[in-house]
Amino acid sequence: MARSAKPKKVRSELKNTAYEIFIGVLSILSILNLVLVYVFRSDPSLQTVLSVMNGLFSVIFLIDFIYRIFTAPSASRYFFRDFGWADLLASLPFAEFKILRIFRLMRVYRLLRKLGVRSLVRTLVKDRANSALMTLLLMGILVLQFGSITMLAIEEHAEGSNITTASDALWYTIVTIATVGYGDTFPVTNLGRLLGSMIIIVGVGIFGTFTGYLANLFLGPSKADAPADGEGDAAAPAAGETSAAAAPAAGETSAAAAGADAAAATLADAASRGVAAGAVAGAVAKGAGAAADPAADADADAVAKADAVAGVDAARLQALLEQSEATNAEIRRLLAQSGP
């Protein structure tokens, strides 16, 4: 039989709730970075860190644009009416277009407002795996930016420090989050070591959660298993046809067995009725014999019993005898049929 069609996934403008919150917070952070770039134009180290983070945001937002345009209910509607063009321009590495990221923030706010606070919380609690992953990824990005800035501010002018540039601070934060720990750069102040310990904890949480998420994604039951089950169900009619083809022969065998059982039951019933009729006939014959010779027994009780039997209705006795003869004839007929 024909294979059942795979159900088509319904496209929606609203993506995963945790993902939408993740993109919304990154949009806020990217807009904040634009403000910091213009406020701290005289600090080259801070400018370097912000430039690296804005480059990272551009890559994430470009991936987000591609993801949205390929999963939108209508690609043209998303691009022209839902400000998809603004998402594309804001993803390009041009400072003049980065202010357009505010349109992405507005769309995320509109979608989450449509969802509602109660539904938002319920969805986040239900989808704990994605919520935890997005939360830790967001925390990693925040630690990468603000941890690098803070570590540079703490260690830059410390005696014997080896974290003296924005590049050193970024490198130390990335290596620490990844829990690699090359040891080429390290904090020398107590405050810097405390900050480094916090970055290590965040890194362990991120990569532990990410490893568990990937294990669940590749080893856990997936939605792709559903078509396989459908194929198994589609193969079921063939097995049903085979069973249906075999059913007549089995039915004939069952019918024969049922006939034999019925014959045996009839035989047993007839035998039981014959035995009962024989007992009645014996009693009748005994009573008749006793009535034919009343003088043979001088006992008064015996005479009374003989008189009672002799008074039995002759028509009733005749009916019982005929029933007994009919039963015996039926038994003989059934025995003859069941013989070889």
pLDDT 10s digits, 190-223 = 999 999 999 999 888 888 887 887 887 777 665 5
d(CA 332, CA 326): 10
Q: What is the pLDDT of residues 74-88, one digit of tens each?
A: 888 888 887 888 888
Residues 109 and 177 in one domain: no
Where in the sequence is the domain holding 280, given as residue range(s)? 254-338
Amino acid at 44: P
In-domain check, residue 243: no
Residues 116 and 21 in one domain: yes
Q: Which of 102, 126, 150 is the last residue of a domain?
A: 126
For the chain, the residue count is 340
pLDDT band at 60 (very low <50, low <70, confident <90, very high): very high
Domains in the chain, number: 3
Q: Are 64 and 21 in contact (CB under 8 A)?
A: no
Residues 98 and 146 in one domain: no
In-domain check, residue 245: no
* Phi, psi for residue 216 in degrees, rounded to 5: -70, -35
Q: Are 278 and 324 in contact (CB under 8 A)?
A: yes
Residues 31 and 111 in one domain: yes
Residues 25 and 117 in one domain: yes
The residues, any chain, with a CB within 8 Å of residue 278's CB and separated by 6 or more, are: 324
d(CA 291, CA 293): 6
| Alpha-helical segments (H) within 178-313 | 190-219, 225-292, 300-310
Q: What is the 3-state secondary structure (H, E, C) of 19-54?
A: HHHHHHHHHHHHHHHHHHHHHCCCCHHHHHHHHHHH
Q: What is the pLDDT of residues 266-325, one digit of tens each?
A: 544 554 555 454 544 454 445 444 444 444 444 555 545 555 555 556 677 777 778 878
In-domain check, residue 332: yes
Q: Is 62 exposed, middle or buried (0-12, 13-18, 19+ CB in 10 A)?
A: middle
In-domain check, residue 105: yes
Residues 110 and 33 in one domain: yes
Stretch 112-139: mean pLDDT: 80
In-domain check, residue 158: yes
